Structure 1
Amino acid sequence: MFVQIQAEPRALFPALGAWLLRGLIGLTALILGHVHGARAHSLDDVDALLKSDEKYFQQIDKPMPDFTLRTADGRVVRPADLRGKVVVVHFVYTSCTDVCPLHAEKIAEIQKMVNGTPMKDQVTFVSITTDPARDTPEVLRKYGPTHGLNPVNWLFLTTSQDQPEDTTRKLAEAFGHKFTKTEDGIQAHGIVTHVIDKEGYWRANFHGLDFAPVNLVTFINALTNNVEHPHHEQDEGWLAKLKSFF
């Protein structure tokens, strides 16, 4: 069971300028490959493009929620361990028989597009189980290959034995959506793909399964190019403003 979150419908035909901009950035990512130091477009340009052309895109700008999880082989992974990479995060549980496999396969499609370019070494794909009790290390190891995910830059994370069973479900809530477990083990949930930049800032959500993969790859390409887009800093009050004059 799932609840698909959809944004407000936009015009059916995007402006010609936006279409040309997407084409240019998409060609950079998918045909010419990643060009180090490219600054042709700011992330604000890409955000504006996706807001007009991708109705399932949601701009975010906040630190990635903190966690301490483990891979199938017991390696500890924290957000700090992912710094320097663009990170694509999604939540699934392996006994899900409807949308979770479809979500994993959509991520695998995007991974294949990214890994066909020099962006491959700058992007990590992360799946997080919301059912650690049943998703044993053996189950985790089999899930990726079954759904086309390449372990070269993909991690499947779960809890350690000393963590509460609902740890990753609470983490999903920190990312803005819920996996609500029922008595029969089914989890009602939304479908969201989260994108984190190299500095550990959560930059975007792509909702549902109907977004265009090229749009997510375009956004990833902008982040791998370190395009200029300052984070929104908290107001430090009158003292910080006074210091700015000196």
Structure 2
Amino acid sequence: MLGARLRLALVALTLCALAAVIGATLAARSDGPNPNALELSADGWAGAIRPPGQPVPDFTLTDQDGKPVTSSSLKGKPVVYAFVYSTCEDTCPAQVQTIKGAVDDLDREDVQVVGISVDPVNDNPKRAESFLLKQGMTGRMTFLLGTREELAPVWEAFAVQPQQDDLEHSAHTILADANGMQRIGFPFDHMTQEALANDLGRL
């Protein structure tokens, strides 16, 4: 009888010790750094702050419907500029889906999404329309097209490398404020839906 009670006492002590170890481990995890936590600058921005006083360049390009679009016509609302090409199968779709998610999270009607071609040789209105349809962005994103001569000054002003046979384009996303000033930039591998939504919400 005494032996049975001793065994029960030992089992109870073992269970209590195990519970204490598990509790301490969970507490340590909750107090430690969260790898998914949103990292913000001292000013509260998640993306890279663009040089001050840097405007969106003047341009006149053509959208997927063949209509001319100027940079001045986009002023008055924040703009998300994404540098993409219509036949891209990896970074561009992922980039646009992240933008889509961030805009959905904000649930704001005043954010414009503009894609600018980085592959003028292969991008055309039909392919641009197909790209928007596949990404669920028809009516929500404008895909701007042009010749290399028309697009080159835009790429340069945004510091973007276009698509080349031997070099992948700069998959950058740049946020401009309602006054047409470049404010925040996100390289593809540093942009998350939460980070983009944070910075869009501040513009």
Q: Deviations over 1:61-97 (max 9, x none)?
A: 3211221101122211111101111000011112223
* Within-5 A mapping of 1:1-246: 13=33, 48-50=43-45, 54=46, 57-60=47-50, 61=52, 62-114=54-106, 117=107, 119-120=108-109, 122-151=110-139, 153-159=140-146, 164-182=147-165, 187-223=167-203
Query: C-alpha distance in 2, partners of 1:125/1:204?
Result: 14
Query: C-alpha distance in 2, partners of 1:199/1:47?
Result: 23
Runs of 5+ unmatched residues, structure 2:
1-31
> Are the equivalent residues in 1 in contact too, given 2:63–2:145 (CA < 8 A)?
yes
Q: Deviations over 1:174-204 (max 9, x none)?
A: 201212523xxx6522221100000111111
Per the TM alignment, residue 13 of structure 1 is displaced from its structure 2 partner at its CA by 4.2
Distance of aligned partners of 1:140 and 1:187 in 2 relative to their CA distance in 1, 3 Å threshold: farther
Q: Deviations over 1:90-132 (max 9, x none)?
A: 1111222332222122222223223xx2x22x11000111223
> Amino acid of the residue matched to residue 213 of structure 1?
Q
| Runs of 4+ displaced beyond 4 Å | none
Partner SS state of residue 76, structure 2: coil
CA-based RMSD? 2.7
Partner SS state of residue 86, structure 2: coil
> Amino acid of the residue matched to residue 99 of structure 1?
T
Query: C-alpha distance in 1, partners of 2:89/2:69?
Result: 27
Larger Rg: 2
Comparing 57-66 with 86-95, greater Cα deviation is found at 57-66
Q: TM-score, normalised to structure 1's length?
A: 0.60
Distance of aligned partners of 1:187 and 1:96 in 2 relative to their CA distance in 1, 3 Å threshold: farther
Distance of aligned partners of 1:180 and 1:73 in 2 relative to their CA distance in 1, 3 Å threshold: closer
Q: TM-score, normalised to structure 2's length?
A: 0.72
Distance of aligned partners of 1:95 and 1:170 in 2 relative to their CA distance in 1, 3 Å threshold: farther
> Amino acid of the residue matched to residue 86 of structure 1?
P
Comparing 97-106 with 71-80, greater Cα deviation is found at 97-106
> Are the equivalent residues in 2 in contact too, given 1:106–1:209 (CA < 8 A)?
no
Per the TM alignment, residue 209 of structure 1 is displaced from its structure 2 partner at its CA by 3.4
